[in-house]
Amino acid sequence: MKKVSVQIAFFTLLMFTVACAEQKEGNQSAESSSTENSHSPSAISTPSADILTADERSGMTPDQVIALLDEGNKRFTEGDLTDRDYIAQAKSTAAGQYPMAVVLGCLDSRVPPELIFDRGIGDLFVGRVAGNFENRDMVGSMEFGTKVAGAKVIVVIGHTECGAVKGACDGVELGNLTGTLQNLDAAIARVDSVEGERSSKNKAFVQAVAEANVHQTMEDILAQSEVIREMVKKGDVKIVGGMYDLTTGRVTWLK
């Protein structure tokens, strides 16, 4: 009787060991399958190779373009940038381009228009200069971008803590930079309601000048270009201005 009990106990222990081994193998198999699926091609999103076509761009209104830029900036601030296949986009746009907007921005390395608006290759014409002001060459480029190439919006983007604005406020003189900064003198003259020192030490003054400079530039573009004035008058093109916040990444449109 004792021998039978021992045999039964041994058999029970053996069955328990086999069951545990099978369960462990099943768990490992499930984990392996889960790992494989997480790295499988179907589980990984494919970068977008889409480009803006002539038909898509022609169907847009200026207001729709502005809305798309604003939506892109929101994605940028939320860390939800579109995954793009830039090589594929480069190949697709090699034969032609249909940008939706012309962006005039500052030289500042922290304000890349394509990134802050979450746009790809072929979406934007971009001109940059320290202080984001216009001159004859820049306005001529805008005329090409709109009248010839079909862009629907001209965007002038200033930004917080702008070094060019600070230099202009302080009257900095340095080689060719002296003349560059003098292009912001009209914007400085527009600001007369900010209390305190009229220099880079006064952050409120610097911010006010940066915003005034955007407005001044928009007005100067219209004043210097009959071509753009006519397009704006007909509603074919809009000129808008905005301020980019270096800290938050958000673009605030100016009225």
Question: How confident is the model at residue 23, as a pLDDT?
Answer: 53
Tens of pLDDT, residue by residue, the chain (255 residues)? 444 444 444 444 444 444 444 454 544 544 444 444 444 444 467 999 999 999 999 999 999 999 999 999 999 999 999 999 999 999 999 999 999 999 999 999 999 999 999 999 999 999 999 999 999 999 999 999 999 999 999 999 999 999 999 999 999 999 999 999 999 999 999 999 999 999 999 999 999 999 999 999 999 999 999 999 999 999 999 999 999 999 999 999 998
Are 32 and 58 in a shared domain? no
Are 30 and 136 in a shared domain? no
Are 189 and 152 in a shared domain? yes
Residue 25 domain-assigned (yes or no):
yes
Report whether 152 contacts 100 (CB < 8 A): yes
User: Rounded to whole angstroms, how far apart are CA atoms 214 and 254?
Assistant: 9
Q: What is the dihedral of CA 206, 160, 177, 113, to 10 degrees?
A: -150
Question: How confident is the model at residue 38, as a pLDDT?
Answer: 41
Tell the residue number behind the tokens 């990444």, with chain if given: 249
Question: How confident is the model at residue 16, as a pLDDT?
Answer: 47
Q: Which phi and psi angles does 155 have, rounded to 5°?
A: -115, 125
Residue 49 domain-assigned (yes or no):
no
Residue 19 domain-assigned (yes or no):
yes
Question: How confident is the model at residue 18, as a pLDDT?
Answer: 44
Are 186 and 234 in a shared domain? yes
CATH of residue 207's domain is 3.40.1050.10
- The burial class, CB within 10 Å (0-12 / 13-18 / 19+), for 161 is middle
Question: How confident is the model at residue 45, as a pLDDT?
Answer: 76
Q: Where are the alpha helices (DSSP H) in 39-176?
A: 54-58, 62-77, 86-93, 113-116, 136-143, 163-169
Are 130 and 76 in a shared domain? yes
- If one counts the domains in the chain, the total is 2
CA angle 12, 18, 22 (to 5 degrees): 145
Residue 202 domain-assigned (yes or no):
yes
Are 64 and 23 in a shared domain? no
Are 27 and 66 in a shared domain? no
Q: Which phi and psi angles does 109 have, rounded to 5°?
A: -70, -15
Cα 91–chain centre separation: 22
Are 27 and 118 in a shared domain? no
Give the domain extent around 208: 54-253
